[in-house]
């Protein structure tokens, strides 16, 4: 795990993070609470949120949780309203919630194409749309969307996933342009292959022979550090940036 600093860059910040039940979002939640933030985690899995909450509590952090399917805009609006009733503001929104599956284009079920885009891309849009009025009213806020290097190089048997992540990058560029001069900013983290339950499932789906050809990946804590940086005031001059390991040759 990344070394914990003495400085508290997120001290007093109130952070809303999706996909917090596992993977990158779980690591980021723990890191941000350790760094002084109060975090509200959202995820479809109550069990996953419980596991993250145990890690946050063990680290002495402040944590709230709510189950949510981010692909449902009505539920997203209700969840954000509930958070704002509990808190007086949302300082940071981190969109990490995502799903993936393996299908060639010719064999892709129509409903699976839609499911992946609705969670990964539509969910990001719904969360931003729901949170932005509060941020804009206060003229302060940071949005961090977590995409993927697949947005730039595609994904064999994962055109739906790559398209959704490419859409996230373009959406963030557009949103950041709209936010100029408002005191609110939006940036994208573009991780390379990361060691999470999602990538474990992909490796298993490829079988032993295929899995040996996949990149071994970086720890989720490394991505969490970048999320923390973009969430904090240290990156206050950054808006509309896509940062991370955007190119990852096969097998490296």
Q: Which residues are identified as catalytic?
A: 161
Q: Show Cβ contacts of residue 78 under 8 Å, excluding neighbours closer than 6 positions.
A: none
CA–CA dist 78, 41 (Å, integer)? 15
For 55, 153, 222, 225, 244, the CA distances from 3, given in Å and listed in that order, are 16, 31, 10, 10, 19
List Cβ neighbours of 54 (8 Å cut-off, separation of 6 or more). none
CB contact at 8 A, 53 and 41:
yes
| Distance between CA atoms of residues 236 and 252, nearest Å | 33
Where do runs of H (alpha helix) occur along the chain? 23-34, 46-58, 73-86, 110-117, 123-138, 150-153, 159-179, 197-211, 220-231
Tokens 């979002």: give the residue. 25
E strand or H helix that includes residue 92:
strand 92-95
Q: How far apart are CA 43 and CA 194, in angstroms?
A: 19
């Amino acid at each position: 795990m990344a070394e914990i600093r003495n400085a508290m860059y997120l001290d007093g910040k109130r952070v809303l993070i999706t996909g917090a039940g596992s993977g990158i979002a779980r690591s980021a939640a723990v890191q941000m609470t350790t760094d002084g933030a109060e975090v509200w985690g959202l995820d479809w899995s109550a069990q996953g949120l419980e596991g993250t909450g145990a890690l946050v509590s063990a680290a002495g952090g402040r944590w709230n949780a709510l189950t949510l399917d981010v692909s449902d805009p009505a539920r997203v609006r209700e969840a954000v309203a509930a958070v704002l009733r509990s808190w007086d503001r949302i300082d940071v929104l981190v969109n990490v919630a995502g799903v993936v599956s393996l299908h060639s284009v010719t064999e892709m079920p129509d409903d699976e194409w839609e499911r992946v885009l609705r969670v990964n891309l539509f969910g990001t849009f719904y969360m931003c749309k729901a949170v932005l009025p509060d941020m804009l009213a206060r003229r302060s806020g940071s949005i961090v969307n977590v995409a993927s290097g697949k947005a730039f190089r595609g994904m064999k048997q994962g055109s739906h996933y790559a398209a959704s992540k490419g859409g996230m990058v373009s959406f963030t560029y557009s949103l950041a342009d709209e936010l100029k001069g408002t005191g609110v900013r939006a940036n994208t983290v573009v991780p390379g292959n990361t060691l999470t339950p999602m990538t474990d499932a992909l490796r298993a789906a490829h079988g032993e022979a295929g899995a040996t050809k996949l990149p071994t990946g970086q720890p989720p804590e490394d991505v969490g550090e970048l999320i923390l940086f973009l969430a904090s005031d240290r990156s206050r001059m950054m808006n509309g940036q896509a940062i991370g390991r955007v190119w990852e040759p096969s097998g490296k």
